[in-house]
Amino acid sequence: TSEAPALELRNVNASYGTTTVLRDVSLSVAPGSVTALIGPNGAGKTTSLRVASGLMRPTGGQVLVDGVDVTRSSAARRAKGGMCHVPEGRGVYRNLTVRENLLMQATSSSPKETIEIAASVFPRLGERLTQKAGTLSGGEQQMLALSAAYVANPKLVLVDEPSLGLAPIIVDLVFDFLKTLREKNVALLLVDQYALRTLAIADHAYVLRRGEIAYDGDAAGLLQGNMFEKYIGEG
């Protein structure tokens, strides 16, 4: 018996006004697995995540979570059902403290437990609980945004460009964190500019090009022979 995917986009079309940005996109994320979504700027990666989490309605096709059609359900409802979308650009409340941000993200009714979990994953956050999120460094804000993927206890996490604009040492921390998610058996759909590092932690990969799926296969397959140059390399 095959388990339903944690997430499936089925023949999705999406557009901004009259501009079509996703054409017949089908992709799925197996339960407890890591799926990479890569492709050049403007290919439609962010739009795919927005359609998946319900921030944007597709003009055609379906979104399924655990085999259930959620195309018409709101982002809030999908979040309650165990989906966590960490958007590009650090979705934190700048005027709230680190502690308050964590408590807003949390599903546990125990504030103490929430804070302990976050501090164990990102010790730096534990040291800055009373600081306003807007005064954190970019890397710390990204850690705070990512900690939702822990304290909200999701089954499915969508992460958009978590390493964008971060110093290399913080990028390492981000990828370590993504690996711990993988060990927790969370299903993860990951978009990141570092294609090699993303593929290294992924089971399955999709390459999106101009709104269409150009590659659908093993992440490792993209690292063999001339596949990387063909699908991802410049030129």
CB of 57 to ligand ATP, least distance (A): 13
19 near ligand ATP, judged by CB under 6 A? yes
Shortest distance, CB of residue 37 to ligand ATP, whole angstroms? 9
DSSP annotation of 97 reads B
Q: Which is nearer to ligand ATP, 25 or 83 (CB)?
A: 25
Q: Shortest distance, CB of residue 58 to ligand ATP, whole angstroms?
A: 13
CA distance 190 to 229: 20
Q: Which is nearer to ligand ATP, 150 or 231 (CB)?
A: 231
What is the Cα–Cα distance from 206 to 216, expressed in whole angstroms?
A: 5
Quick one: angle between helices 98-105 and 138-151, nearest 10? Answer: 30
Min dist. Cβ of residue 158 to ligand ATP (A) = 12
Return the exposure string of 188-219: e unless at least 16 CB atoms fall within 10 Å of the residue's CB, then b. Answer: bbbbbbbbebbbebbbbbbbbbebebebeeeb
CA 3, CA 159: separation in Å to the nearest integer? 23
Per rule CB under 6 A, is residue 16 in the interface with ligand ATP?
yes
Alpha-carbon span 227 to 80, nearest angstrom: 39
Nearer to ligand ATP, 102 or 199 (CB): 199
> By rule CB under 6 A, what string of x and - marks binding of each residue 36-75 to ligand ATP?
---x-xxxxxxx----------------------------
Any contact of residue 198 with ligand ATP (CB under 6 A)? no
Q: Does 165 bind ligand ATP (CB under 6 A)?
A: no
- Min dist. Cβ of residue 195 to ligand ATP (A): 12
Tell me how many residues contact ligand ATP (CB under 6 A): 11
* Torsion 131-132-133-136 (CA) sign: negative
Work out whether 18 is an interface residue with ligand ATP (CB under 6 A): no
Among 21, 157, 171, 178, binds ligand ATP (CB under 6 A): 21
Helix 138-151 × helix 111-121 angle, to 10°: 130
Print the SS3 string covering 119-147. Answer: HHHCHHHHCCCCCEHHHCCHHHHHHHHHH
Binding residues vs ligand ATP (CB under 6 A): 16, 19, 21, 39, 41-47
